[in-house]
Amino acid sequence: MNRALIECVPNFSEGRDPSIIEMITKPILDTEGVELLDIDMGYDFNRTVVTMVGQPESVLSAVIECTIVATELIDMSQHSGEHARMGAVDVVPFIPLRGASMPDCISLSERYAEAVSTILNLPVYLYAESSRSDQRVRLPDIRKGEYEGFQSKLESGDWEPDYGPATFSPKMGVTATGARQILIAYNVNLDTDDKSIANTIASAIRTSGSLIRDDSGAKIIGDNGKPLRKPGVFKSLQAAGWMYDENTAQVSMNLLNHNVTGLYDVTEKIRDEAKKIGRNVTASELVGLVPLEAMLSAGLKYHNNPDDADDIDLVNAAVSGLMLDKFGAFDSRSNIIEWAIKGAHE
């Protein structure tokens, strides 16, 4: 009988010093029953996304040790980067894979939060399926104001952490953890250095859409006292405009359910929106790993003869159509979850 398998994808607020990331991820390599599948460092974001899979108890033990090391080595008071962030260990999601349930991962997130808050005096928030209030389901709602705003948030009384003290640690910041389904972090680059173009496209496609404003540019407030919004095109999609580098704007996305909104759909919509204003999509990238099913789904749309194509053919068609190979060779064996797990055991 196969043992239960979960995925954990901790995000660390360090993307420029490989030696620090090497020390942070060492506990994963040293823990039996866990495989380190991917380390994705982003220099401009100054952030690293780590992907591990393994037996639930082993993963929990490893990520607690990673957190202890990261909070020793990262000083948030000296941190800057393009990506929104609130702590040295910014977010730690647990994802059920084989033989594991969502309640299993909720329990793991709660045990993680209890352990690191006790050991480190670290404020920890529960989000996604682990959330205990509607206000904390969405990570962007918790992260609003980012690191710089958390001292006042903690002092306000409305943002008392689920675990740990309601006091701000300038060095560590705060952390969020929770259980969720597989999320695809996916970015699409544009041939412009104008971040506002990426922001405009992001607001048009994301689920939350954009604020409705009057002729003077002021937000229009609804009867419930909240600003009115124009919904975006897609469901289960978070998106924002970022800068990939000083010359390249990027639509940065989280596909929360690739069966509802897939890679092909968002890529082609961004391509269409860019063309309307004389711009083009130049490349795309995955942050972390992607489920095979998501790549096959895109491949079916991009392949010229999908009925006669095998999985490898469909994945290759997806890589080409999504332009995942524009930054260099895309290694499907290490970037697709199922194939990476298989390779780790060969």
Catalytic amino acids? 83
Whole-angstrom distance, CA of residue 249 vs CA of residue 264: 20
Q: At what angle do helices 18-30 and 56-73 cross, to 10 degrees?
A: 150
Q: At what angle do helices 263-276 and 311-322 cross, to 10 degrees?
A: 20
- The answer to whether residues 63 and 6 touch, using CB atoms and an 8 Å cutoff, is no
Which region, left, alpha or beta, applies to residue 160 given φ > 0 means left and ψ of -120 to 50 means alpha? beta
Whole-angstrom distance, CA of residue 176 vs CA of residue 164: 12
Whole-angstrom distance, CA of residue 152 vs CA of residue 154: 5
Least Cα distance to 36 among 285, 288, 287 occurs for 288
Whole-angstrom distance, CA of residue 248 vs CA of residue 227: 31
Whole-angstrom distance, CA of residue 95 vs CA of residue 339: 17
Alpha helices in 8-157 (DSSP H): 18-30, 56-73, 102-120, 139-143, 146-156
- The answer to whether residues 296 and 314 touch, using CB atoms and an 8 Å cutoff, is yes
Q: Which amino acid is at 199?
A: N
Angle at 147 between CA 142 and CA 148, to 5 degrees: 120
